[in-house]
Structure 1
Amino acid sequence: MCGRTSLFAPRAELESRFDARVPDDYRPRYNVAPSDPLEVITADQPDVVQRFDWGFMPRWADADDQGFINARAETAHEKPAFSDAWESRPCLVLSSGFYEWKETGRGRKQPYRVSREDDLAFAMAGLWQRWEDDGDRRQTVTILTTDPNELVEPLHDRMAVVLPREAETTWLTAGPDERADLCRPYPNDDLDAYPISTAVNDPSNDSPAIVEPDRSEQTGLGEFGS
């Protein structure tokens, strides 16, 4: 799954990378948790980066519901909560790297950062939903997940659908069947994973120190992906 993410690429670099205008009040964030806003690009406004609440709320959801932070790509098309969004509301969820927690057998989980080498931002596949109730209006989003690739498999049995750069436009513009073909384990070898401090466990910790390697761990996951 994907339950924590980040986006800290400089504003100008984001605009250049995605050919989209970034809000003036954009600020780098290193520890984005569910219910926080995520930067997204939608099919109907591909030249603007918007912010949607992380936690997809179906139309029938109550105002105090947390929403769905993830949706299984394999079944989203048939689930009542996501089927309409699957058909017509894909989006890109921008990220500088997401976090997963690995069982260590020592009574605690070790957090890892998963990022794309030499790329300060990439896109994960998402679906969005406009939720309204009694004057309360929210734009909400979920991140699609799939089976892990070799790099992420030691960490978790699911991973975010990370889109190859050349597939980002296709995700926004193609039909459901073609988009379904993109929902597979990330196929390229330019992802990296390395251990970080357990400071990431607390969402209030939001600083560049979050992404620094945990030197108490011997190695990252490069050995698992080789």
Structure 2
Amino acid sequence: MEKSLSTDSPLVAPPATDALNTTTYPVIAAISFSHLLNDMMQSVLLAIYPLLKLGLNLSFTQIGLITLTYQFTGSLLQPLIGLYTDRRPMPYSLPLGMGFTLLGLLSLSQAGSFGAVLLSAMLIGMGSSVFHPESSRVARMAAGSQPGLAQSLFQIGGNLGSAIGPLLAALIIVPQGQGSAAWFSLFALVGVVVLSLVGRWSSHHGANFHKRMKAHAGNGLSRRQIGWSLAILGLLMFSKFFYM
């Protein structure tokens, strides 16, 4: 553990002269692994809807409200958090976000009412909203001259997590009951440790990265071109998740 915290580690070393153009694979691997953990735990809530419906005698309307609460805090808050952290970078918000997920899972494991499940869904969603904007920025920082590769590896972690989460829920929570959801908090603890190291690396490299991004802001594109590009990208993402 002491070795991993030394200044010789790629997760914490100060930036070299060519660091901005160098792809830092250990950081990309760490953030991709954390993305796997985050999305795996996020998917547990959705996977155990049948268990919650039967155990707490919930209606489909209540299940829909749980989904609304989760999606509101887990998705709609992300742009606001991203806007804030763009102006005031918070590298150590990464373990904080994972901490929200940890609390949400512990709350979910003991939730005995509809209101308690709503609170759990809100905490789990907040963990996702805090995690994704900052982790995406770190992936871009570590990408160097290969942003496409870095973003792809980052996304692979999230996709694997979304696939593994329901399987683990079926193997652990369904046979042992709702209380066993607390076991997933162990994954959150692992994530907190990994993201603390990533946050430390980010704090060392953030200043130089933001100077470079500011120097190349827009790449000569007008605000209208940027706006249309983001709108098209948003529409494509909407269509993807709509049919999913």
**Which of structures 1 and 2 has the bigger CA Rg?**
2
Which structure has the highest helix share of the two?
A: 2
Which structure has the highest strand share of the two?
A: 1
Tell me the TM-score normalised to structure 2 length. Answer: 0.26
Larger relative contact order (CA 8 Å, sep ≥ 6)? 2
